[in-house]
Structure 1
Amino acid sequence: LRQIITAPPPDEEPPETVLRASLGLWLHCLSSGNVGEGAHWMRMITSRYPRPPRPETSLTWCRAVWVAGFLLFIHGDHNSTTENIERGEKVLAQLSATPSHG
């Protein structure tokens, strides 16, 4: 994950690759005791993707934002947790208002 986050993505690689790769990070960080590092990486990912890269990646993006919020909360950064959760809620509200997503 470190390499995926720090290296620029190849042109042909979709942005959701990084988002999908980050979804299991919370469990790894909790079991290994690296919550601070995980919070750092998730902060970088959510900075790189402050919004869903494409409409069809919105749900994956929301899941990644949840992981970021969870790790930031455990790490003690409650302001960043709140910001992430609020951004995710806005995107989810837009998804539910879209007829195709019901």
Structure 2
Amino acid sequence: MSGFDELVPRLRAFAAAREWEPFHTPRNLAMALSGEVGELVAELQWLSDKEIREQLDGGALRERVADEVADVLLYLVRFADVCGLDLAAEAHAKIDRNEHRFPPLEANPSA
């Protein structure tokens, strides 16, 4: 069982123990997910790419970003579960579609 496979039953149990299932509708979870993405963006909003790279090496920004990334992931996993979607399978299918839409760049024959 992969780490992601373990998240689904753990999140189900977590929500059930708190009687949150009635609130975990696709709409509510999508809104919560959007809010958490906004919180992740807010951590990086006024920093340059260089500052972000430097501050992600350790310290407070890394901890805050890690917390927000975890929140985004947890809401996404819960959303997919409630919607009956296999998150890994859907991600692989999307990559497959993107491989057809965006073929690899071919080497420049004149170079």
Q: In which range does the TM-score fall when normalised by the shorter chain?
A: 0.3 to 0.5
**TM-score scaled by structure 1?**
0.37
**TM-score scaled by structure 2?**
0.35
Higher Rg: 2
